[in-house]
Amino acid sequence: MAGIFEILKIIILGIFLIAEGVRDLKKHRISMLSVMIAGVIGFILCALFIKDNIMSVLGGILIGVVLLLLAKFTEEKIGYGDGWVFMVTGIYLGLRANLYLLFVSLFLSAVVSMILLICKKAEYKTELPFVPFVLPGYLFLMVAQ
């Protein structure tokens, strides 16, 4: 049964990250409806397939909560949408994998930002949407596991 959960997790989270990455790239916002749908599906899957690892799921969600608090205290230098997305990924990935996802996504974002700065395609104050970096980070994690 755990194999079914892994396959469903990969498919659902992948579709969610593709949709929200494109939306964030185009509109600089995410869909709360998508967040709610993916979150509810994630909770249902957890209830069905995860019995003993609920603390890891709660820890994964906490990463998103911390990002939401950072969005509030930084006047949205980090967007609220990023926090909501990481709450959803936390449901599916748990604490450790969600933390890795955050670090890999931040690394990818930093590399692209440096390239844009070096090529003079962006300035220091240029804001980049973050969610588009989460999907490649997620794919990296899936391959690395």
Domain boundaries, position 7: 2-144
pLDDT tens profile 101-138: 999 999 999 999 999 999 988 888 888 999 999 999 99
3-state class (DSSP) for residue 121? coil
Domain count within the chain: 1
pLDDT tens profile 49-78: 776 688 999 999 999 999 999 999 998 888
Q: How far apart, in whole angstroms, are the C-alpha atoms of residue 65 and residue 141?
A: 21
Q: Is the pLDDT of residue 5 over 80?
A: no
Tell me the angle at which helices 80-118 and 32-49 cross, rounded to the nearest 10 degrees.
110
Q: Is the pLDDT of residue 1 over 70?
A: no
Task: Note if the pTM is more than 0.95.
Answer: no
**Phi then psi for 127, rounded to 5 degrees?**
-100, 130
